[in-house]
Structure 1
Amino acid sequence: MDCCLHRQIAHITDHLFLSSAAAVSGERVCGLNITNVINCTMDIPNLHMPGIDCIQIHVDDLPNANLSLYFDSVSDKIAQIHQRGGKTLVHCVAGVRQSASLCIAYLMKYYHKTLEDAYRHVKQKRLVIHPNFSFWSQLIQYERRIFRIEVDSG
Protein backbone atom coordinates (compact mmCIF):
# COMPACT_ATOMS: atom_id res chain seq x y z
CA MET A 1 0.00 0.00 0.00
CA ASP A 2 1.30 3.45 -0.89
CA CYS A 3 2.69 5.17 2.21
CA CYS A 4 0.95 8.47 1.41
CA LEU A 5 -2.44 6.81 0.95
CA HIS A 6 -1.90 4.81 4.12
CA ARG A 7 -1.43 7.99 6.15
CA GLN A 8 -4.20 9.94 4.44
CA ILE A 9 -7.24 11.10 6.36
CA ALA A 10 -9.98 11.23 3.76
CA HIS A 11 -12.81 13.79 3.97
CA ILE A 12 -15.89 11.70 3.19
CA THR A 13 -18.26 14.57 4.03
CA ASP A 14 -17.80 17.87 5.83
CA HIS A 15 -18.19 16.00 9.14
CA LEU A 16 -17.04 12.43 8.38
CA PHE A 17 -13.46 11.28 7.93
CA LEU A 18 -11.92 7.88 7.13
CA SER A 19 -8.37 6.68 7.71
CA SER A 20 -6.04 3.93 8.77
CA ALA A 21 -4.92 3.66 12.38
CA ALA A 22 -1.44 4.90 11.37
CA ALA A 23 -2.92 8.23 10.29
CA VAL A 24 -4.53 8.91 13.67
CA SER A 25 -2.58 11.34 15.82
CA GLY A 26 -3.65 13.95 18.29
CA GLU A 27 -2.23 16.72 16.17
CA ARG A 28 -4.06 15.64 13.01
CA VAL A 29 -7.34 14.98 14.80
CA CYS A 30 -7.23 18.41 16.46
CA GLY A 31 -6.17 20.07 13.22
CA LEU A 32 -9.31 18.76 11.50
CA ASN A 33 -11.54 19.69 14.47
CA ILE A 34 -12.55 16.05 14.90
CA THR A 35 -14.52 15.53 18.11
CA ASN A 36 -15.15 11.80 17.96
CA VAL A 37 -13.18 8.75 16.85
CA ILE A 38 -14.67 5.37 16.04
CA ASN A 39 -11.93 2.74 16.27
CA CYS A 40 -12.84 -0.44 14.35
CA THR A 41 -9.87 -2.56 15.37
CA MET A 42 -9.46 -5.54 17.62
CA ASP A 43 -6.45 -4.38 19.60
CA ILE A 44 -5.22 -0.92 18.64
CA PRO A 45 -5.86 1.31 21.65
CA ASN A 46 -8.09 4.35 21.43
CA LEU A 47 -6.63 7.83 21.11
CA HIS A 48 -6.66 9.39 24.57
CA MET A 49 -7.01 13.15 24.38
CA PRO A 50 -9.08 15.67 26.29
CA GLY A 51 -12.15 16.71 24.31
CA ILE A 52 -12.03 13.71 21.96
CA ASP A 53 -14.59 10.99 22.57
CA CYS A 54 -13.59 7.54 21.34
CA ILE A 55 -15.50 4.33 20.99
CA GLN A 56 -14.11 1.01 19.91
CA ILE A 57 -15.92 -1.59 17.85
CA HIS A 58 -14.23 -4.96 17.98
CA VAL A 59 -14.76 -6.44 14.51
CA ASP A 60 -12.01 -8.33 12.77
CA ASP A 61 -11.45 -8.42 9.02
CA LEU A 62 -12.58 -12.03 8.67
CA PRO A 63 -15.16 -13.68 6.40
CA ASN A 64 -17.31 -14.66 9.39
CA ALA A 65 -17.26 -11.24 11.08
CA ASN A 66 -20.70 -9.66 11.41
CA LEU A 67 -20.07 -5.97 10.81
CA SER A 68 -23.74 -5.41 9.97
CA LEU A 69 -24.52 -5.50 13.69
CA TYR A 70 -22.99 -2.02 13.80
CA PHE A 71 -24.36 -0.41 10.61
CA ASP A 72 -27.31 1.31 12.30
CA SER A 73 -25.68 2.15 15.63
CA VAL A 74 -22.55 3.64 14.06
CA SER A 75 -24.55 5.53 11.43
CA ASP A 76 -26.85 6.92 14.12
CA LYS A 77 -23.86 7.90 16.27
CA ILE A 78 -22.22 9.77 13.36
CA ALA A 79 -25.53 11.57 12.66
CA GLN A 80 -25.95 12.53 16.34
CA ILE A 81 -22.42 13.89 16.49
CA HIS A 82 -23.05 15.90 13.31
CA GLN A 83 -26.31 17.30 14.73
CA ARG A 84 -24.33 18.57 17.74
CA GLY A 85 -21.81 20.23 15.41
CA GLY A 86 -19.14 17.56 15.83
CA LYS A 87 -16.98 15.66 13.38
CA THR A 88 -16.23 11.95 13.33
CA LEU A 89 -13.19 9.98 12.21
CA VAL A 90 -13.74 6.28 11.53
CA HIS A 91 -10.64 4.10 11.28
CA CYS A 92 -9.57 0.49 11.21
CA VAL A 93 -6.07 -0.90 10.85
CA ALA A 94 -5.68 -0.01 7.17
CA GLY A 95 -8.74 2.18 6.53
CA VAL A 96 -9.79 -0.21 3.79
CA ARG A 97 -12.43 -2.68 5.00
CA GLN A 98 -14.31 -2.25 8.32
CA SER A 99 -14.14 1.54 8.55
CA ALA A 100 -14.87 2.01 4.85
CA SER A 101 -17.88 -0.30 5.09
CA LEU A 102 -19.26 1.67 8.04
CA CYS A 103 -18.84 4.95 6.15
CA ILE A 104 -20.68 3.42 3.18
CA ALA A 105 -23.51 2.28 5.47
CA TYR A 106 -23.77 5.81 6.90
CA LEU A 107 -24.06 7.37 3.43
CA MET A 108 -26.74 4.85 2.52
CA LYS A 109 -28.80 5.52 5.63
CA TYR A 110 -28.43 9.27 6.03
CA TYR A 111 -27.68 10.47 2.49
CA HIS A 112 -30.07 7.95 0.89
CA LYS A 113 -27.37 6.77 -1.50
CA THR A 114 -27.56 3.38 -3.13
CA LEU A 115 -24.80 0.97 -2.20
CA GLU A 116 -23.16 1.59 -5.56
CA ASP A 117 -23.29 5.39 -5.18
CA ALA A 118 -22.10 5.29 -1.57
CA TYR A 119 -19.22 2.99 -2.52
CA ARG A 120 -18.19 5.22 -5.41
CA HIS A 121 -18.33 8.31 -3.20
CA VAL A 122 -16.09 6.77 -0.54
CA LYS A 123 -13.78 5.23 -3.17
CA GLN A 124 -13.36 8.64 -4.80
CA LYS A 125 -12.26 10.10 -1.46
CA ARG A 126 -10.06 7.16 -0.39
CA LEU A 127 -8.84 5.13 -3.35
CA VAL A 128 -7.61 2.15 -1.34
CA ILE A 129 -10.96 1.05 0.12
CA HIS A 130 -11.93 -2.55 -0.55
CA PRO A 131 -14.63 -4.11 1.65
CA ASN A 132 -14.12 -7.86 1.92
CA PHE A 133 -16.68 -10.20 0.33
CA SER A 134 -18.52 -10.73 3.60
CA PHE A 135 -18.80 -7.00 4.37
CA TRP A 136 -19.95 -6.37 0.79
CA SER A 137 -22.65 -9.04 1.15
CA GLN A 138 -23.75 -7.49 4.44
CA LEU A 139 -23.95 -4.07 2.77
CA ILE A 140 -26.14 -5.55 0.02
CA GLN A 141 -28.51 -6.91 2.67
CA TYR A 142 -28.46 -3.54 4.46
CA GLU A 143 -29.34 -1.74 1.24
CA ARG A 144 -32.24 -4.12 0.69
CA ARG A 145 -33.48 -3.52 4.22
CA ILE A 146 -33.22 0.26 4.35
CA PHE A 147 -34.59 0.79 0.85
CA ARG A 148 -37.08 -2.08 1.22
CA ILE A 149 -35.85 -3.79 -1.92
CA GLU A 150 -37.65 -7.06 -2.57
CA VAL A 151 -35.53 -9.96 -3.77
CA ASP A 152 -36.95 -11.72 -6.82
CA SER A 153 -37.22 -15.39 -5.92
CA GLY A 154 -38.29 -16.47 -9.39
Structure 2
Amino acid sequence: MHQSGPAGLSGLCRVTDHLYLSNGRAANDSSQVTRYKITCIVNVTETKSSCPPPPGVEYIHIPVTDSPVSPLSDHFEEVADKIQLTAEGGGRTLVHCNAGVSRSAALCMAYLMKHRGVTLLEAHKWVKTCRPMVRPNNGFWKQLNRYEMELRGCNSVRMVSSSMGEIPDIYEEEARNMMPL
Protein backbone atom coordinates (compact mmCIF):
# COMPACT_ATOMS: atom_id res chain seq x y z
CA MET A 1 0.00 0.00 0.00
CA HIS A 2 1.38 3.36 -1.00
CA GLN A 3 0.08 6.25 1.05
CA SER A 4 1.03 9.83 1.61
CA GLY A 5 0.46 11.97 4.64
CA PRO A 6 -2.69 14.07 5.03
CA ALA A 7 -2.92 17.13 2.80
CA GLY A 8 -4.24 20.34 4.27
CA LEU A 9 -7.79 19.75 5.44
CA SER A 10 -9.04 21.99 2.65
CA GLY A 11 -6.82 20.46 -0.03
CA LEU A 12 -6.84 17.37 -2.17
CA CYS A 13 -5.89 14.25 -0.21
CA ARG A 14 -3.98 11.57 -2.10
CA VAL A 15 -5.46 8.10 -1.54
CA THR A 16 -3.33 6.38 -4.21
CA ASP A 17 -1.06 7.67 -6.98
CA HIS A 18 -4.13 8.09 -9.17
CA LEU A 19 -6.99 8.68 -6.68
CA TYR A 20 -7.67 11.86 -4.72
CA LEU A 21 -10.40 12.78 -2.26
CA SER A 22 -11.57 16.26 -1.26
CA ASN A 23 -14.41 18.53 -0.29
CA GLY A 24 -16.36 20.59 -2.81
CA ARG A 25 -14.38 23.79 -2.34
CA ALA A 26 -11.04 22.12 -3.15
CA ALA A 27 -12.56 20.31 -6.13
CA ASN A 28 -13.72 23.64 -7.56
CA ASP A 29 -10.22 25.14 -7.22
CA SER A 30 -8.94 24.72 -10.77
CA SER A 31 -5.36 25.52 -9.71
CA GLN A 32 -5.36 22.46 -7.38
CA VAL A 33 -7.03 20.28 -10.02
CA THR A 34 -4.34 21.33 -12.51
CA ARG A 35 -1.45 21.03 -10.01
CA TYR A 36 -2.39 17.43 -9.14
CA LYS A 37 -2.94 16.55 -12.83
CA ILE A 38 -6.55 15.45 -12.24
CA THR A 39 -8.13 14.15 -15.45
CA CYS A 40 -11.53 13.03 -14.07
CA ILE A 41 -13.71 14.60 -11.36
CA VAL A 42 -16.50 12.59 -9.72
CA ASN A 43 -18.90 14.95 -7.93
CA VAL A 44 -21.12 13.10 -5.43
CA THR A 45 -23.39 15.97 -4.33
CA GLU A 46 -26.99 16.92 -4.94
CA THR A 47 -26.05 19.65 -7.43
CA LYS A 48 -23.64 19.98 -10.33
CA SER A 49 -20.73 22.32 -9.82
CA SER A 50 -21.29 25.89 -10.95
CA CYS A 51 -17.58 26.02 -11.86
CA PRO A 52 -16.82 24.19 -15.09
CA PRO A 53 -13.84 21.80 -14.82
CA PRO A 54 -10.58 22.85 -16.46
CA PRO A 55 -10.29 21.95 -20.17
CA GLY A 56 -9.63 18.26 -20.77
CA VAL A 57 -10.98 17.15 -17.38
CA GLU A 58 -13.85 14.66 -17.54
CA TYR A 59 -16.70 15.52 -15.15
CA ILE A 60 -19.13 12.97 -13.72
CA HIS A 61 -22.02 14.02 -11.49
CA ILE A 62 -23.66 11.46 -9.18
CA PRO A 63 -26.61 13.17 -7.47
CA VAL A 64 -26.79 11.41 -4.08
CA THR A 65 -27.68 13.06 -0.77
CA ASP A 66 -25.67 12.36 2.39
CA SER A 67 -28.51 10.41 3.95
CA PRO A 68 -28.32 6.89 5.42
CA VAL A 69 -31.16 5.85 3.08
CA SER A 70 -29.52 7.16 -0.11
CA PRO A 71 -28.61 4.30 -2.49
CA LEU A 72 -24.89 5.11 -2.78
CA SER A 73 -24.12 1.43 -3.38
CA ASP A 74 -25.87 1.72 -6.76
CA HIS A 75 -22.72 3.59 -7.83
CA PHE A 76 -19.96 1.50 -6.16
CA GLU A 77 -19.14 -0.59 -9.26
CA GLU A 78 -19.46 2.24 -11.78
CA VAL A 79 -17.22 4.63 -9.81
CA ALA A 80 -14.65 1.96 -8.81
CA ASP A 81 -14.35 0.85 -12.44
CA LYS A 82 -14.10 4.45 -13.69
CA ILE A 83 -11.28 5.20 -11.22
CA GLN A 84 -9.46 2.04 -12.37
CA LEU A 85 -9.99 2.77 -16.08
CA THR A 86 -8.75 6.34 -15.63
CA ALA A 87 -5.64 5.05 -13.80
CA GLU A 88 -4.95 2.48 -16.52
CA GLY A 89 -5.05 5.31 -19.05
CA GLY A 90 -2.48 7.26 -17.03
CA GLY A 91 -5.03 9.65 -15.54
CA ARG A 92 -6.00 10.71 -12.04
CA THR A 93 -9.46 10.82 -10.49
CA LEU A 94 -10.70 13.22 -7.83
CA VAL A 95 -13.79 12.05 -5.92
CA HIS A 96 -15.51 14.72 -3.85
CA CYS A 97 -18.71 15.53 -1.99
CA ASN A 98 -19.57 18.65 0.04
CA ALA A 99 -17.27 17.95 3.00
CA GLY A 100 -15.16 15.04 1.72
CA VAL A 101 -16.21 12.99 4.74
CA SER A 102 -19.06 10.57 3.94
CA ARG A 103 -20.16 9.99 0.31
CA SER A 104 -16.81 10.47 -1.43
CA ALA A 105 -14.94 8.56 1.29
CA ALA A 106 -17.34 5.61 0.96
CA LEU A 107 -16.82 5.52 -2.82
CA CYS A 108 -13.03 5.56 -2.36
CA MET A 109 -13.34 2.69 0.12
CA ALA A 110 -15.45 0.71 -2.38
CA TYR A 111 -12.75 1.27 -5.02
CA LEU A 112 -9.99 0.06 -2.68
CA MET A 113 -11.96 -3.08 -1.84
CA LYS A 114 -12.71 -3.92 -5.47
CA HIS A 115 -9.49 -2.97 -7.24
CA ARG A 116 -6.85 -3.14 -4.48
CA GLY A 117 -8.26 -6.27 -2.84
CA VAL A 118 -8.32 -4.91 0.70
CA THR A 119 -10.93 -5.55 3.38
CA LEU A 120 -13.44 -2.86 4.34
CA LEU A 121 -11.56 -2.39 7.62
CA GLU A 122 -8.27 -1.90 5.73
CA ALA A 123 -9.94 0.43 3.20
CA HIS A 124 -11.29 2.59 6.03
CA LYS A 125 -7.87 2.79 7.73
CA TRP A 126 -6.23 3.60 4.37
CA VAL A 127 -8.61 6.47 3.57
CA LYS A 128 -8.56 7.75 7.17
CA THR A 129 -4.74 7.91 7.01
CA CYS A 130 -5.00 10.29 4.04
CA ARG A 131 -8.00 12.26 5.33
CA PRO A 132 -8.44 11.84 9.12
CA MET A 133 -11.97 13.29 9.25
CA VAL A 134 -13.59 10.66 7.00
CA ARG A 135 -16.74 9.24 8.58
CA PRO A 136 -19.29 7.67 6.22
CA ASN A 137 -22.83 7.72 7.62
CA ASN A 138 -24.25 4.53 9.12
CA GLY A 139 -26.38 3.75 6.06
CA PHE A 140 -23.32 3.91 3.81
CA TRP A 141 -21.49 1.58 6.21
CA LYS A 142 -24.31 -0.95 5.86
CA GLN A 143 -24.04 -0.66 2.06
CA LEU A 144 -20.24 -1.03 2.20
CA ASN A 145 -20.69 -4.08 4.42
CA ARG A 146 -23.04 -5.67 1.87
CA TYR A 147 -20.55 -4.84 -0.90
CA GLU A 148 -17.68 -6.42 1.04
CA MET A 149 -19.80 -9.54 1.52
CA GLU A 150 -20.43 -9.66 -2.27
CA LEU A 151 -16.73 -9.22 -3.03
CA ARG A 152 -15.14 -11.34 -0.29
CA GLY A 153 -17.86 -13.57 1.20
CA CYS A 154 -17.19 -12.24 4.71
CA ASN A 155 -17.15 -8.97 6.65
CA SER A 156 -14.25 -7.26 8.41
CA VAL A 157 -16.49 -4.64 10.07
CA ARG A 158 -19.58 -5.46 12.13
CA MET A 159 -22.59 -3.22 12.64
CA VAL A 160 -23.41 -2.96 16.36
CA SER A 161 -26.31 -1.42 18.26
CA SER A 162 -25.69 1.88 19.99
CA SER A 163 -27.64 4.83 21.34
CA MET A 164 -27.33 6.29 17.80
CA GLY A 165 -28.76 3.20 16.12
CA GLU A 166 -26.57 0.73 14.27
CA ILE A 167 -22.97 1.88 13.89
CA PRO A 168 -19.82 0.15 12.65
CA ASP A 169 -17.88 -1.47 15.50
CA ILE A 170 -14.81 0.63 14.61
CA TYR A 171 -16.68 3.81 15.64
CA GLU A 172 -17.38 2.19 19.00
CA GLU A 173 -13.68 1.37 19.31
CA GLU A 174 -12.67 4.94 18.32
CA ALA A 175 -15.00 6.36 20.97
CA ARG A 176 -13.49 4.07 23.64
CA ASN A 177 -9.97 5.14 22.63
CA MET A 178 -10.90 8.81 23.06
CA MET A 179 -12.15 8.42 26.61
CA PRO A 180 -9.79 9.62 29.34
CA LEU A 181 -8.21 6.88 31.42
- For normalisation by structure 1, the TM-score amounts to 0.91
1:37 matched to 2:29? The reply is no
Residue from 24, 31, 41 that aligns with 1:27: 31
Query: Residue 33 of structure 1 aligns to which amino acid in structure 2?
Result: K
- How many angstroms apart in 1 are the aligned matches of 2:82 and 2:67? 24
Residue from 119, 135, 159 that aligns with 1:130: 135
Query: Residue 31 of structure 1 aligns to which amino acid in structure 2?
Result: R
- C-alpha RMSD over aligned residues: 1.2
1:16-62 Cα shifts (integer Å, max 9, x gaps): 00000011211100000110000000014163321111000011001
1:16 equivalent in structure 2: 19
**Which fold has the larger relative contact order, with Cα–Cα distance below 8 Å and residues 6 or more apart in sequence?**
1
Deviation at 1:63, TM superposition (A): 1.8
Q: Count residues with an aligned counterpart.
A: 146
- How many angstroms apart in 1 are the aligned matches of 2:53 and 2:149? 38
Query: Residue 90 of structure 1 aligns to which amino acid in structure 2?
Result: V
- How many angstroms apart in 2 are the aligned matches of 1:48 and 1:127? 26
1:107 equivalent in structure 2: 112
1:54-109 Cα shifts (integer Å, max 9, x gaps): 00001100121010000000000000000100000000000000000000000000
1:48 matched to 2:57? The reply is no
1:58 equivalent in structure 2: 63
Structure-to-structure mapping, 1:80-95, within 5 angstroms: 80-95=85-100
List structure 1 runs of 4+ shifted beyond 4 angstroms: none
- How many angstroms apart in 2 are the aligned matches of 1:91 and 1:16? 11
- For normalisation by structure 2, the TM-score amounts to 0.78
Q: Is the 8 A contact 2:34 2:54 kept in 1?
A: no
Which ranges of structure 2 fall in alignment gaps of 5 or more residues?
A: 1-7, 156-181
- How many angstroms apart in 1 are the aligned matches of 2:104 and 2:81? 15
Identity of aligned residues (%): 41
- How many angstroms apart in 2 are the aligned matches of 1:136 and 1:63? 9
Highest CA radius of gyration, 1 or 2? 2
2:161 equivalent in structure 1: none
Deviation at 1:134, TM superposition (A): 0.1
- How many angstroms apart in 2 are the aligned matches of 1:63 and 1:17? 24
